[in-house]
Structure 1
Amino acid sequence: QSERRKKILDFISTLDYSRQQTDFITRRQEGTGKWLLQSNEFLKWVNESQRTFLCPGIPGAGKTIMSSMVVDTLNKQFADNGDVAITYVYCSYQTQQEQRPEDLLASILRQLIQRQADVPRHIDNLYENCKTKKITRLTMDDIMANLGLTIRLYSKVYIVVDALDEYHATDHENTKELLSRVFTLVNLQPVNLFTTTRHVPEITSLFDGYAVVKEIRAQDDDLYQYVDAVIPKLLRGTISRNASDLKDTVREQVVKAADGMFLLARLHMESLMSWLTPGHLKRALKTLPKELDGTYTQALQRIEDQEQGAREPAKRLLAWITYAKRELTIPEIRHALAVGSDVDMKDFNADFLLEVDILTSICAGLVTVDQESKTIRLIHYTTQEYFKRTSMFPKEREGIAATCISYLSFDVFNSSMYDEITDKLERYPLYGYVAHNWGYHYSEAAEEGLGHKVLDFLLCEEKVASCGQVFLSQDYDTRYNWPRRRTENRPLQGFVDPKPMVAMHFGAYFGLFKEVRVLISKGYDVEPPGKSYRTPLSWASERGHDTVV
C-alpha cells in the first residue's frame, strides 16, 4: 500500500519543496519577523477565509525567509488540526525548467494528498485511468479539477508562493496563468493565498482588487538582532581585547548601511570578518557600500586578493553556479572543479577534489550550501543577476564547456555495457549533468579550440552510446533534468538498447551545425537504422534547428 501511495504521489508531481523549507527556516534569526507575524493584517488573513496577502519587497529584504516563517507559523498553529492544510511553493531562478503553471499546481495537489491518511478515491481513480491509457502527465484541466475535489476534504487550505518575481523572470505569460488559476481557487474554495515578490509592476498589478498588501522590509530591530548574533564571531581574539567600544560602532554602521536589506547586513558582516585589527575594522566600517552592486564588487575584490590556489577555484565555482542549467549537488560541483584543474586528464583524479568547507570559505560569502538538498548555490538571486549583467567570469565560463567535454571523454566511458552505467553514475556524479547539458555549454562557448575535442567525442561510438544511455535514462526526470532520488540499490532504469543514441542524435538535438556537417561528410547516416529512440531529423525539427534540418 505504501509503495502504491508513493507511485501515485510521484505520478502527480515529483516536486518537493520540504527541503527548501527546512533549509530556509533554519537560517531564520530567532526573534525576527514578529512585525509581520503579529501584525493585524496577517492575523486577519490567517483567521478569515478566501483572502490573499501580497508582500512585495526590495531585493535582499528577507522575503524568502519570511515565507518560510509563515509556513512554519501555520504548521505549528494547525499541527493538531487535520482539517487544515498548509502548502507552499518556492519559485527559483535556478529551476526554470520545472516552473510551468501545471508543475507548481501539481505540486500543491501532491502536498494536499500527502496530508491525507489514505489516497482519496478520486485520485486513485485518476491514477488508474491514466495508467490504463498510458498517460504520463496530467493536463491543466485534470490538475484543476482534482485540486478542487481535494481541497473540499479540508475546512481551509493555505497556499504560500514565494518569489513570484523569479518565476516571472522566466515567462511573463505563465505568471498570469498561474495567478489566474490560483485566484480561481481562492474565489471558489476555502483557500487563502500568501505570496512574495519584488516590486515588479507587471506582477503587483495582477493583485489589484484581490489582495491586502504589506511591504517586506528588514526592520532595524531585526537587523540589530542579526548583527548581535554574529558580532561575537567578528570581535574575536585581539580585536575583542583592544576595542571594547567597537561593538556599538559595528551595530550602528552595519544596520545603517543595510537600510532594510538582510542580505546587505549579511554580506557586510562577512566582509568585516577578513580584518584582523581594530584599525582595519574601523576603516572598513566607513566604506561599507549601501547598495548590492558595490557590495558584490567588494566581495569579488576580496576573492581576487587571495592566493592563486584559492582565487582560481573560487572563480570557477562562481561561474559554474551562475551558468549551470540547474542547481548543482555538492558531489557534482566538486567533480566539476577537480576536472577544471586539468581538462586534459584521461580519467578522474580524486587528488584534485576540494572539501566543501574550503569551497564556502574562498568565495567571500557569495555561496551557500543547502544541507537538506546537498546543493550549493549563490547567496541570492541578485548575485546571479549581477554576474550575468556584468558578464563576469568569461574565461571560467568557457572552461565549463571544456570540463563537460573532458568528463564525457574519460576512458572509463569507452563502454556502453548496461550494468556498468549504473556504477559509473555512482562513481562519477557529474556524468548525468554533462550528459544532458554539454551541448548547451559548448554552443555558448566562443573557444574555437573545443571543436576538435567535441568531434573526437562524437566519433567515439562507445562513449556516445554510454552518454546516450544516461541521457535517456528514467533515473533522470526528463522534464526537469534532475536526478531522481534513488531509494534502493536497483539497476539503472533506462532503455534496454545498449546503444540508443549515436553522434547524429546529439548533433541534431543541440543544433551543432558544423559537427553535423562533418559527420555527414564522414558517411554518417542522417537517420540511423535500428535505433530505439527518435530520429535525429525529428529532434532537430522540433527544437527549431533549421540549419541542421
Structure 2
Amino acid sequence: MDPFSALGVAASIIACIQLSQSLLKKLGPSAHRSQDLKLILRTMMQFRKAYETLKEYAELDESEEIRLATFRQVEEPLKECKDIIDNVVERLEKNSFLKQWVTGSAWDRKLQKCMSRLNEVRLLLDMAMQSDQLWFSVVDQAKEEKRRALLQWLSKTDPSTNHQAARKACMRGTGEWLLRNLEYRRWKENPRSFLWLQGLPGAGKTVLCSTVVEDVQDFCSSDSGHLVAFYYFSFSDSQKQNTTNFLRSILAQMIKQSNKAFHTAAPLYNDTDDPELQLHALKAMLRAIIAAHGYVFIVADALDECPRATATQDERQLVSETLEEIISWKLDSLHLMITSRKIADLESMIHGIPGVVTVFIQNDHVDADTRLYVASELQKDKKLRSWPPGIRTEIETTLERGANGMFRWVSCQLEMLRSCITPAQVRSCLKTLPETLYSTYERMLAEIDKKHIDMVITALKWLVIAERPLRLDELAEAVALGLEPGADFDIDNRLPDLTDILRVLGSLVAVEVSLPRRFYWLRSEYDSDSDSEFELDSVCHVSDAATTGNSDNPYYSPIVRLAHFSVREYLMSTLPKPWSTDHFNEADLHDFAAIACLNYIKLIMSHNSMFDDLYYYARSYWRVHVQKCKNHDRANSAKFITFLSEFRLTGGRPLERLLSSPITPTSSNSRLCSGQFCRSWAKCRDGYCSSGSTSGLGRSRPSTFRDHQ
C-alpha cells in the first residue's frame, strides 16, 4: 500500500462528506444556521479534490524514492488534517449534536474550533506543497512529454476532416427520425450495446453517422467521465482502411478528452514496429480505458469501405474480428455503433457477434429528408430558384418519386438540372431521369465532350488508385502525364487553369478544404534518406489558415476525391461504359500509377528541375504501387517490367524483393530516389530560379524558399 493510502485521509474525508450529505437530506433546510453544515460539506469536498491532486502528482513518478520524498513533505499536515476530520465525524454522529441542531441552540463550538484549525492546517499543507513547486513543474513537464509521445504514436489519421465534410453536407432537420428511433435510444442508454445502421449506397449513412456523433457528444458533454470517439473508413485514403489506424484514432481521441484515459493507457504504451504487438497493445489500452469510464461511445462509419481479401490480408475481416473481440469484453460502459451497406460478406461477419441490433434506413425515412433537401436546394441555389413555381414543384415531385432512398441520386439529378436553360429542357430532363446511380454515372460520362475524354479517363484512374487524396495541383499534373504514363512529357498538356479539370469531371468528384501547397515542397531541410512526405493529416494541424485557404492563392490547393464510393465501384465494375474498360482493374491501375510515378521522377531529374507538383507523391508511393501489382500476371505486364528494369530501388534494394522473378537493373538511372539528387539540389535551392521564372519543366516558384517558410 502506498504511504498516502496508509494514512487513511481519503476514507476520513469520504466519511465526513457522506455524513454531512445524509444530515442535510434527513433534516432538510433548518432555520438555524444551516449554512454551517453546508460549509462543512463544501470544505470537505474542496479538501478532497486538493488531496487527490497531491496524490496524483506523487504517483506520476515511477521512482519510489521521489514518491517517499513527496510524502514526507506533507506527512505532518495530512496527519493533523485526518485527526481534525475524524473529530468532526465523531461530533456529527453524536445525538447531542442532532438535538442542538433540531432545537436551534447555539452552533456546536467544538465544530467551530475544528473547522478553524482545519483551515490553518490547510495553509501549512499548501506551504509544504509550494516549497516543492519546482518538482511539481518537472512532473508536469514529464507528464506532458509522455502524453505528447503517446499521442504522436497514435495520431496516424485524422477522422475530423471526414466529420467536418459530413456536417457541411448535413441540412438542418434531416436525420431526426434516427434520433427518435426506439432502438437508437436504447443503444444510447443501455449498457454494453451494439448498433448496426444499414442502408443502400447513397442513402446518406455518413451524414447520419455525423449526426449521431454530434448527438452523443452533446449527451456526454456534462460529464467528464463519458467519452466519445468516432472514425470514418474511407475508400479514397488507404490510411483510413485498416484496423490498426482505426484503434489508434479512437484511442487518441479518448486520451485528448480525459486525463484518466491517459493515465490508464500510458503504462500499456509499447512503441514497437511489430504489427501484431502493436495491435495487442492498442486493444489492451482500449479495454482498460473503457473499463475505467462510465459511458464510452464508439461510432465507426462505412465499414464496407475497408478492402476485402488481398494478397496479404482481409482488412474487412480483421476489423470485424476486432469488433467482435471488443464486444466479448462485456464492458457495461461500451456503446458501439457501425454503419455500412448490407453486403453478404460483412453481414455474415457482423451477425455472428452477440447482441448486435440492426436499424435499416427505410425509404420513407430518407424520402422525408430528401424533401427537405430538395426544397432547400431550390430555395438557396441561384439557378434553381429562378425557375417558375410550377417548374420547381415538378422538380420536387419527380425527384421525391425517383429517389428510392438515395440522397446521392437526388444530388446528381439536381446537378444535371442546373445545366438546363429553358423550362422545356427541365421537363425533358425530368422525363428521362436515369433510374439508378450507375445509370446516372453512365449518362454523366456519355455527356462529356469527346475531346476531353482522355483527360477524364486519366483523372479517374488516378482518383481510383491513389493511395491518399490528391490535391488539385497534383491531379492536374498527373493528368498532364496522359494515358501513356511512360511516354515523353509534353509541357503543352498542362492546364493553365487547374479548375478546368473540375468543370469537366462535374459531379463525379468532390472538392474539399484547401490545403497549403507549400507544406509539401517548401522545407528548410530535406531528409534525403527518408521516403516519407508531409502527410495530409499532419498538414491539417500545421496551420489554421489551411481551413480558410483561398483557392486563388497559388500556395493553396483543394483536395479532390471521387464524390462517392459508388462512383469507384461503378468505374471498377464490368458494366457498360462510354469507353473501353480493359484497363480499369486494380492490378492494371497500379501498373499505370507505378510507371507514371517513376517516369515523373526521371522527368524531374533529367531536366534538373525543382520538385514539381506530383514529385512528393511519386517519390513516396511508387513502391507501394509496385508492391500491389507484384502478383499480377507478368505476361500482361511486359511494358511495366521493361520500364521498371531501368531503375534501382531506394537504398539499392534489389527488384527481386518486390517482384516475383528476378530482374537485372541497369545503371542508366541509378540516381533515382537515391538521395544524391536531393542533396545536390538542396545545396543550390536558395539560388535556384531567383528571378521567379520557370526553368525546365517546373512551374513558376517564389524567388527563394526562405521567403515563404
Whether TM-score is above 0.5 comes out as yes
1:349 positional shift? 5.2
Residue of structure 2 in register with 1:158 after alignment:
297
Q: Is 1:369 equivalent to 2:511 in the alignment?
A: yes
1:389 positional shift? 1.1
Match of 2:659 among 506, 511, 516: 511
Q: Structure 1: any 5+ residue segments left out of the alignment?
A: 459-463, 469-499, 525-549
- Report the TM-score, using the length of structure 1 for normalisation: 0.74
1:43 positional shift? 2.3
Calculate the aligned-residue CA RMSD, in Å: 3.6
Task: Please tell me whether Structure 1 or Structure 2 has the larger radius of gyration of its CA atoms.
Answer: 2
After superposition, the Cα gap between the structure-2 partners of 1:302 and 1:425, relative to the gap in structure 1 and judged at 3 Å, is closer
Match of 1:212 among 346, 357, 362: 357
Q: How does 1:155-304 map to 2 (within 5 A)?
A: 155-167=294-306, 169-170=308-309, 171=314, 173-185=317-329, 187-205=330-348, 206-207=350-351, 210-217=355-362, 219-232=366-379, 236=383, 240=386, 243-303=388-448
Distance (whole Å) between structure 2 residues aligned to residue 96 and residue 203 of structure 1: 19
- Counterpart code for 2:617: L
Q: Is 1:312 equivalent to 2:454 in the alignment?
A: yes
After superposition, the Cα gap between the structure-2 partners of 1:183 and 1:257, relative to the gap in structure 1 and judged at 3 Å, is same
Match of 1:385 among 552, 569, 572: 569
Query: What's the CA shift string for 1:215-240, capped at 9, x where partnerless?
Result: 12452221011112222576738x93
- Counterpart code for 2:321: E
Q: How does 1:522-541 map to 2 (within 5 A)?
A: none
After superposition, the Cα gap between the structure-2 partners of 1:78 and 1:36, relative to the gap in structure 1 and judged at 3 Å, is same
- Counterpart code for 2:375: D
Query: What's the CA shift string for 1:512-549, capped at 9, x where partnerless?
Result: 64xx4444999x9xxxxxxxxxxxxxxxxxxxxxxxxx
Q: Structure 2: any 5+ residue segments left out of the alignment?
A: 1-140, 515-535, 537-557, 671-709
1:316 positional shift? 1.5
1:212 positional shift? 2.8
Q: How does 1:100-139 map to 2 (within 5 A)?
A: 100-117=242-259, 120-127=262-269, 130=270, 138-139=277-278
Percent pairwise identity: 23
Residue of structure 2 in register with 1:147 after alignment:
286
Match of 1:46 among 165, 181, 188: 188
Residue of structure 1 in register with 2:698 after alignment:
none
Query: What's the CA shift string for 1:427-471, capped at 9, x where partnerless?
Result: 833333443345358766957555554344x1xxxxx46xx2xxx
SS in 1 for 2:224: coil
Q: Is the 8 A contact 2:195 2:336 kept in 1?
A: yes
Query: What's the CA shift string for 1:14-59, capped at 9, x where partnerless?
Result: 1321111111111112210111112233223222322122211111
After superposition, the Cα gap between the structure-2 partners of 1:195 and 1:356, relative to the gap in structure 1 and judged at 3 Å, is farther
Q: Is the 8 A contact 1:162 1:196 kept in 2?
A: yes
Q: Is the 8 A contact 1:220 1:255 kept in 2?
A: yes
Q: Is the 8 A contact 1:157 1:191 kept in 2?
A: yes
1:387 positional shift? 0.9
Q: Is the 8 A contact 2:217 2:228 kept in 1?
A: yes
Q: Is 1:435 equivalent to 2:617 in the alignment?
A: no
Q: Is the 8 A contact 2:593 2:622 kept in 1?
A: no
Task: Identify, as 1 or 2, the structure richer in helix.
Answer: 2
Residue of structure 2 in register with 1:530 after alignment:
none
Distance (whole Å) between structure 1 residues aligned to residue 228 and residue 605 of structure 2: 48
Residue of structure 2 in register with 1:405 after alignment:
598
SS in 1 for 2:453: helix
Q: Is the 8 A contact 1:425 1:432 kept in 2?
A: no
Higher relative contact order, chain-length normalized (CA < 8 Å, sep 6+): 1
Match of 1:85 among 206, 210, 227: 227
SS in 2 for 1:376: strand
1:261 positional shift? 0.6
Q: Is 1:30 equivalent to 2:172 in the alignment?
A: yes
Query: What's the CA shift string for 1:42-86, capped at 9, x where partnerless?
Result: 223222322122211111111111111111122233234211111
Query: What's the CA shift string for 1:82-141, capped at 9, x where partnerless?
Result: 1111111222334456544343223322221121247733433334xx45x887874433
- Counterpart code for 1:381: F
SS in 1 for 2:287: helix
Tell me whether 24-33 or 437-446 shows the greater mean CA deviation: 437-446
1:297 positional shift? 1.0
Q: Is the 8 A contact 1:161 1:195 kept in 2?
A: yes
Q: Is the 8 A contact 1:62 1:216 kept in 2?
A: no
Distance (whole Å) between structure 1 residues aligned to residue 613 and residue 571 of structure 2: 32
After superposition, the Cα gap between the structure-2 partners of 1:521 and 1:78, relative to the gap in structure 1 and judged at 3 Å, is closer
Distance (whole Å) between structure 2 residues aligned to residue 105 and residue 520 of structure 1: 43
Distance (whole Å) between structure 2 residues aligned to residue 441 and residue 385 of structure 1: 19
After superposition, the Cα gap between the structure-2 partners of 1:7 and 1:375, relative to the gap in structure 1 and judged at 3 Å, is farther
After superposition, the Cα gap between the structure-2 partners of 1:247 and 1:290, relative to the gap in structure 1 and judged at 3 Å, is same
SS in 1 for 2:298: strand
Residue of structure 1 in register with 2:17 after alignment:
none
After superposition, the Cα gap between the structure-2 partners of 1:68 and 1:224, relative to the gap in structure 1 and judged at 3 Å, is same
Q: Is the 8 A contact 2:233 2:240 kept in 1?
A: no
Q: Is the 8 A contact 1:327 1:377 kept in 2?
A: yes
Residue of structure 1 in register with 2:49 after alignment:
none
- Report the TM-score, using the length of structure 2 for normalisation: 0.58
- Counterpart code for 2:331: L
